[in-house]
Amino acid sequence: MPIYLIRKLDTFALLSDEDRQILQELASKPRYLGPRQNIIREGDNPEHLNVILEGWAFRYKCLKNGRRQIVALLLPGDLCDCHINGMRRMDHSIGTLTSVRLAKISRSRLEEITTRSPRIVQALNMDMLVASAIQREWTVNVGNRVALERLGHLFCEIFLRLRQIRLADGTSCALPLTQVEMADALGLTSVHINRTLHALRNMELVSLKNRQLTMLDLPGLQQASLFIPDYLHLGLCERQSRSADTENALAFA
């Protein structure tokens, strides 16, 4: 069940029960990958659309000088490939961070879906716009913020994105990234991430142990990181509570 995809799209458009049913059928033949594996490599020819049903992954590019830049984080419910038609060759790779469950959606299947539900198309479009907005914000993050702001900003973004799909528990969420991976995502070194993390802890803004991130002071962290959540377009998130109610109601029916 692509439960996280449904939850996310639900914040982008008013899905009907039929829409949800259509999305449910997606996850028929899931594919499993272990942690630190490649889902697809730069140069590969993407044949179908992959959706992350469960687990974390990331887009990255390797440079000639040997360094690696992580350009995006893919969370449960995120679409892997630059969807719809067109891309002949991947210009970047996608790797897993944790164990990942993937749904493969063929092109024909996708077309079928889009003809059956315009609302799903709308929600997918919105999702794509948000993904672009996040990418722009990452450019801002590495271009214009110092280490402490960058790391704090990343934490804020991850936390809010996970909360959107109800994978945050109060003020905590998972964070299965090593310091090396944070460094590669933020254009810093792991040594400096380490020191910066200590600074954030000393300021009592976050705590991070056993891959569990706790936001001790979310407003404080947002301010310290120059984080403004607008770009995530979570505007409809108050609907979350409503759909949570509906979901519960169904569960108890």
Contacts to its own copies by CB under 8 A: 12, 59, 61, 63-65, 67-69, 71-72, 82, 84-89, 91-92, 122, 125-126, 128-129, 131-133, 135-140, 142-145, 186-187, 226, 230-231, 233, 235
Classified as helix, coil or strand, 25 is helix
140 binds DNA (CB under 7 A): no
Q: Give whichever of 30 and 46 is closer to its own copies, judged by the CB atom.
A: 46
Provide Rg for the chain, Cα atoms: 18
Residue 250 partner contact from DNA, its own copies, none using kind-dependent CB cut-offs of 5 to 8 Å = none
The sign of the CA dihedral 6, 34, 191, 186 is: negative
Who's near 164: CB < 8 A, 6+ residues apart?
7, 8, 11, 232, 234, 237, 240
Q: Give whichever of 171 and 189 is closer to DNA, judged by the CB atom.
A: 189
- Tell me how far, at minimum, the Cβ of 161 lies from DNA, in Å: 20
Q: Which residues of 103-121 are buried (b: 16+ CB within 10 A; e: fewer)?
A: bbbeeeebeebeeebebbe
146 binds DNA (CB under 7 A): yes
Residue 225: count other Cβ atoms within 10 Å of its Cβ: 22
Residue 190 partner contact from DNA, its own copies, none using kind-dependent CB cut-offs of 5 to 8 Å = DNA
Q: Give whichever of 128 and 199 is closer to its own copies, judged by the CB atom.
A: 128
CA-wise closest residue to 116 among 25, 8, 239:
25
- Tell me how far, at minimum, the Cβ of 208 lies from DNA, in Å: 8
State how far the Cα of 89 lies from the Cα of 119, in Å rounded to an integer.
30
Host H or E run for residue 74: strand 68-74
Query: Of 147-206, which residues contact DNA (CB under 7 A)?
Result: 147-148, 178-180, 183, 187-192, 194-198
- Judged by the rule CB under 7 A, the positions of this chain that interact with DNA are 146-148, 178-180, 183, 187-192, 194-198
